[in-house]
Amino acid sequence: MATDLYDELDRRLAAARRGGPQAARDKHRAAGKLLVRERLQLLLDDIEEFEDGLLARHLEDLPADGVVTCVGHVDGRRVCVIANDYTVKAGAWGKRTFEKITRMQLLADELGVPLVYLVDAAGARIDEQFESYAGRHAWGNIFYNQVQISGRVPQICALFGPSPAGAAYVPALCDVTIMVKGTATAYIGSPRVAEMVTGESVSLEEMGGAELHARVSGLADVMVATEVEAIDAVRLYLSYLPASWEQQPPRVAARPPRDVGPLRDVVPANEATPYDVHLLIDGIVDADSFFEHKELFAPELVTGFARIDGSPIGIVANQSSVKAGVLFSDSSDKAARFVWMCNAYNVPLLFLVDVPGYMLGTVAERDGIIRHGAKMLFAVAESRVPRIAVIVRKAYGGGYLGMSGSPMNPDAVLALPTAKPALLGPEAAIAGVHYNRAMAIEDEAERQRFVAALRAEYAEKVDVFQIANENAVEAVVPVEDLRGELASRFRVYRDRRKPEIRRRNGVYPV
């Protein structure tokens, strides 16, 4: 009799691990997608430590109620995982799904380990809403928990398929969202519903595809071509982050930087000449360690993780080759979110400053540049991790503050010999101070000579030696010595303690 029960248990466990019916699994594979347990095999070092709720609702032909929740290891470090099974009711949330999800969320927080969401779900099941929607014990608990543990343990989302309606807030509330191009979608209302409500006719990809969210909305931090690349990106993100906010990021063996040629040739002395800041980054960080965050969104600002001397840092850098590196509303938001994430998980920050300032004009003002720019200032000023700013070239106006200039109380501001910090650039300064005098000159050629002479005079006064003379920077460093200087300073600054701000929360300018 006992043997029969054990045989029956084995049969039921095997059936639950298979997931949905054969037809659903075949359809899933035909769409070019991996089954949920194949994704787990790629993510985890080996078989998971344990799984919760495998037999949930198996008597109703809903294996595991459409979600796998387990504990395993990535590169030897423990993680908790929540993974939708699209072969069971299209991964839609049922009355036991949210119980499993919320339990694993709490376990991750209690253990102090990262939480990985492998999302492929058609939202919540309408036919179960009266048991799972309106009460205190309901689907919404998932989002509540995400907020409670935000900044305590890393939450990383890989989006393989749909995440519609309320479920779209799972990737939005994670620290990092990775989307697979061509299959991943996130939207509040489907194209069919949107057409009914607004009359707008759009495709699923136009409504909420990976391209839209990576380039336009900013929801996606990384867009990849395949599911394998998505899981590789999850593993890579985890390699830069500690298990929880109470720990330090993991160190690895140091590597010399990639050879990009003479660094003095990378940054042109002429501030009007654009260059690719990726070359400067590659020339000072450990080889192949730079992992860009939101590469396709607001590319005038570059953000990403890297390592110097084997230790993780977060980089925020103006990209002069895109819109001259001016800060717009989107790039301000991009910077703020990245700074908040680094600050949450003890990742030191490096700012590479070559900024003409925040964008101006009626379009920028209507887009809320003041409000968005203030968000960036807020994130930088409240950060407590080691923070170094390097003035590469331009450091004008409020943009200098947003990029962690001296008044924002960084641990250090360094300057390259090419640095030119000023309240305004030569053109704006002369236009602001001498406009009436210039306009009073009737002869056009003479007026141009007058303005050119004033610009040249102004430019001569804006150089690195003026600010060094006023002790406005900690050091002026040759670019070829910058890596060593940064490594030394970050080693020291990691040991200092900066007091936390006593309050419940700031009133964020969002």
User: What are the residue ranges of helices labelled H in 316-425?
Assistant: 329-344, 362-366, 369-382, 397-402
Considering Cα of 40, then 41, then 43, then 44, what sign does the dihedral take? positive
CA distance linking residue 466 with residue 408, whole number of Å: 20
- CB atoms closer than 10 angstroms to residue 261: 9
Query: Taking the chain, what is the end-to-end CA distance rounded to the nearest angstrom?
Result: 64
What 3-state DSSP class applies to 158?
A: strand
Q: Which residues of 327-343 are buried (b: 16+ CB within 10 A; e: fewer)?
A: bbbbbbbbbbbbbbbbb
Q: What is the pTM of this model?
A: 0.92
Burial of 112 (0-12, 13-18, 19+ CB in 10 A): middle
pLDDT of residue 461: 65
Of 123, 104, 124, the closest CA to residue 114 belongs to 104
Residue 144 CA, distance from chain mean position: 21
What 3-state DSSP class applies to 301?
A: strand
pLDDT of residue 510: 82
- CB atoms closer than 10 angstroms to residue 32: 11
Calculate ∠ Cα 286-416-356, nearest 5°: 100
Residues contacting residue 435 through CB under 8 Å, at least 6 positions apart: none
pLDDT profile of the chain (510 residues), mean per 10: 86 95 96 96 91 94 96 97 96 93 97 98 88 85 96 98 90 97 89 69 83 96 98 98 97 96 93 94 97 98 98 98 95 98 98 93 92 96 97 93 96 95 64 57 69 61 84 95 97 91 89
CA dist list (Å): 229 to 224, 292, 346, 400: 6, 14, 26, 36
Residues contacting residue 323 through CB under 8 Å, at least 6 positions apart: 300
CA distance linking residue 449 with residue 441, whole number of Å: 11
User: What are the residue ranges of helices labelled H in 220-322?
Assistant: 227-240, 263-266, 277-284
Of 16, 140, 155, the closest CA to residue 80 belongs to 155
